[in-house]
Amino acid sequence: MSSESLPDVQAAKPDVEVGLNRVGVTDVKKLVKVSRDDDRPLVFTAEFNVYVDLPSGRKGIDMSRNMEVTNEVLDDLTRDPVYRVEDLCAEIASRLLDRHSYTTRAEVEMEAEYMYREETPSTERETQGFADVCATAVANGDGVRKSIGVEVTGTTACPCAQGMMRKDAGDKLRELGLEEDSVEEFLDEIPQAAHNQRSQSYLEVEADDDVHVGLDRLIEAARDSMSSRIYNLAKRPDEHSMTREMHENARFVEDVVREMARNVSERFELPDDAVVTMKQENEESIHQHNAYSERVMTFGDLRRQIDG
């Protein structure tokens, strides 16, 4: 019996006629090349999840056929370098919607580790940094909505602990006979100790298909929201620079999300209905729990709050 004469079981009515929001394939790995101006493209391994919706009167989505279409679309669109991974997801979602006559919605998720080059803060040695990237796109009859998000690692110093240490230092300096002006000058010049956290910042922008958000700009905005950046390579002068910067910019987990909001407001021009997601998690050094803060808001509301 030829495959053409086999019954289309997936097109039959299911025993329970309930429509499903997301049916598809996950963990599809593909090489993606990201073009850069005047430089070689970056190549990294991306992992895709691809879904379509399923109406209540259809049993299945032809999984093997769907995987064939998914592979065909991904291979076609990842063969050449792309400029924005979120645009790649948007194009994949649009093509999948066109190729599935019974669906009204197609969704694509992509995760990858992104490598960028930078210099250490004091010794100016070249090193590599890494960010986790998540891009999504949803296509329906009204168009495409896409998002691009990054998660980066940095450090924070606790303002509360630093305040207590500042008081101890001030009391001791006064006990040693220093004048009040000298005490305040010393404390303003030399940042005091605090307990520290390795921190994870997540920043995401969701917008319509015609809006373009730079991946590197997102990474910069997220990294600059914490007390200090960290680097894959650090000589002693770099360690000194990072430690001092960290304690000069002591921030609570709540402060980091608010700083992220300010960075987005100052560095991006987005439509009011773009949705900004900001998350921060600090791995506490002197507690057995982590600290967490989050805010999700439209860019219009963010601007209005920042501008007062």
User: Per the domain annotation, does 295 fall within a domain?
Assistant: yes
CATH of the domain at 31: 3.10.270.10
**Residues of the domain holding 36:** 13-158+194-307
User: Per the domain annotation, does 43 fall within a domain?
Assistant: yes
User: Per the domain annotation, does 252 fall within a domain?
Assistant: yes
**Contact predicate 37/84, CB 8 Å:** no
Write down the pLDDT at residue 1.
45
pLDDT digits (tens, 9 = 90+) for 102-114: 889 999 999 999 9
User: Per the domain annotation, does 140 fall within a domain?
Assistant: yes
Write down the pLDDT at residue 108.
94
Among residues 135, 101, 129, the alpha carbon closest in space to that of 32 is found at 135
Q: For residues 131 and 202, give the distance between their C-alpha atoms in angstroms, rounded to a whole number.
A: 10
| This prediction's pTM | 0.89
Say how many C-beta atoms besides its own lie within 10 A of residue 63's C-beta.
12
Amino acid (1-letter code) at residue 87: D
Instruction: State how many domains the chain has.
Output: 1
What is the 3 state secondary structure string of 228-277?
A: EECCCCCCHHHHHHHHHHHHHCCCCHHHHHHHHHHHHHHHCCCCCCCEEE
Between 1-10, 149-158, 171-180, 243-252, the lowest mean confidence (pLDDT) is in: 1-10
**Contact predicate 32/96, CB 8 Å:** no
Write down the pLDDT at residue 57.
86
User: Per the domain annotation, does 168 fall within a domain?
Assistant: no
**Contact predicate 45/31, CB 8 Å:** yes
3-state secondary structure of 126: strand
User: Per the domain annotation, does 3 fall within a domain?
Assistant: no
User: Per the domain annotation, does 174 fall within a domain?
Assistant: no
pLDDT digits (tens, 9 = 90+) for 238-274: 999 999 999 999 999 999 999 999 999 999 999 999 9
Alpha helices in 50-158 (DSSP H): 63-78, 85-99
pLDDT digits (tens, 9 = 90+) for 55-79: 898 887 777 766 777 788 778 888 8
Q: For residues 296 and 261, give the distance between their C-alpha atoms in angstroms, rounded to a whole number.
A: 10
User: Per the domain annotation, does 173 fall within a domain?
Assistant: no
pLDDT digits (tens, 9 = 90+) for 195-244: 999 999 999 999 999 999 989 999 999 999 999 999 999 999 999 999 99
Write down the pLDDT at residue 37.
73
